[in-house]
Structure 1
Amino acid sequence: MTTAKPRGTLTLAEFCEELQISRRTFYEWRAKGRAPRCLKLPNGDLRIRRTDFEQWLTALEDAA
């Protein structure tokens, strides 16, 4: 059984694919506080709101 995906969110796999990074890299960024905000579902899966992802990317642009 698969978990439903809330609208306007990315799965961890989608996020990693979009940035062409590994899950390990994502978890390293998350541990260091460098990843975008995440939603943690009751089953432990993570989702990233599209709006949070876009804000995070904008902040990276500003910092460059």
Structure 2
Amino acid sequence: MSDEKNQQAAPFGAMTCDEFCKAMQINRKTLWEMRKRGEAPEIVFVGRKILITHRAAEQWAREMEAKSRAQSDERETA
């Protein structure tokens, strides 16, 4: 499936940081450390609420999977 189709299939809406962390099985501290390194999904500020869209979460997951595959490939060739 192409990236364009994946983006179109992404559900509309967003989740809180706590909901994202629960879904990804990480804690908030890890999320904010990743954000400092530029490795976290894009966030949206709505008033005082911090949200992560489903689309941003899916894109982030794809990027993390690709990064993990690349690191695995590097280990295998070393």
TM-score (norm 1): 0.79
Matched residue type, 2:44: L
- 1:62 aligned residue: 66
Matched residue type, 2:21: C
**Ranges in structure 1 where 5+ consecutive residues have no aligned partner:** 1-6
Greater share of residues in helix: 2
**Ranges in structure 2 where 5+ consecutive residues have no aligned partner:** 1-11, 69-78
Please, which of 19, 26, 29 is the counterpart of residue 31 of structure 2?
Answer: 26
- CA shift at 1:20, angstroms? 1.4
The alignment of Structure 1 onto Structure 2 pairs a total of residues equal to 57
- Distance in 1 between residues matched to 2:52 and 2:45, nearest whole Å: 9
Larger radius of gyration: 2
